């Protein structure tokens, strides 16, 4: 499926639960420590591919860092947004790649991952931002529109 052609059915999704599950899956596959902090549940409007957003961010941190990487994830809720901060302790993103980070790759300068998940998050009415990067690590923020729990919508 081409994510950029995806017409999502937006519904309340427990973003906190998705993050915890994706962290569990990625921990099994690589030299990584992932800690997740935040509320037990955090509902945002998203579609059925939202898990790919977080898995891609975790896998990118592993792929683009040498050796073991530590990732900390903070989930925050607000009236308008659910924000997820993904921080790694890697060496940062080279300045030469930052300008085109969310654009489709050209001549092998990077992969499709961030381009696709940026588009997916936008389809969900949210935003993906590179907050900071440098020799101490990289921080991305994913913001999705806040939603009430599914029980709120029951008759």
For 101-149, how does the pLDDT look when each residue is reduced to its tens digit (9 = 90+)? 777 766 554 556 788 899 999 999 999 999 999 999 999 999 999 998 8
Question: Three-class SS of residue 118?
Answer: helix
**The pLDDT of residue 30 is above 90:** no
pTM for this model (two decimals)? 0.87
Question: Three-class SS of residue 8?
Answer: coil
- How high is the pLDDT of residue 109? 47
User: How many residues appear in the chain?
Assistant: 155
Strand partners, 45: 12
pLDDT tier for residue 152 given thresholds of 50, 70 and 90 = low
| Cα separations in angstroms, 33 against 2, 18, 66, 72, 120 | 31, 17, 14, 8, 26
Report the alpha-carbon distance of residue 3 to residue 90 in Å, rounded.
28
- How high is the pLDDT of residue 9? 85
Q: How many helices (H) and strands (E) does the chain have?
A: 4, 7
Report the alpha-carbon distance of residue 28 to residue 137 in Å, rounded.
22
Two tokens at 85?
């901060």
């Amino acid at each position: 499926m081409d994510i950029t052609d995806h017409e999502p059915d937006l519904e309340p999704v427990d973003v906190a639960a998705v993050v915890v599950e994706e962290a569990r899956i990625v921990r099994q596959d690589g030299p990584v420590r992932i800690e997740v902090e935040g509320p037990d549940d955090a509902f945002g409007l998203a579609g059925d591919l939202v898990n790919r957003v977080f898995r891609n961010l975790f896998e990118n941190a592993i792929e683009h860092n040498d050796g073991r990487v530590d990732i900390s994830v903070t989930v925050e809720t607000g009236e308008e947004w659910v924000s997820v901060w993904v921080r790694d302790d890697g060496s940062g993103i080279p300045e030469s790649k930052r300008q085109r980070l969310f654009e489709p790759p050209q001549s092998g300068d990077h992969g499709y991952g961030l381009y696709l998940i940026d588009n997916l998050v936008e389809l969900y009415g949210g935003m993906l931002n590179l907050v900071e990067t440098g020799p101490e690590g990289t921080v991305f923020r994913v913001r999705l529109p806040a939603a009430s729990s599914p029980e709120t919508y029951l008759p």
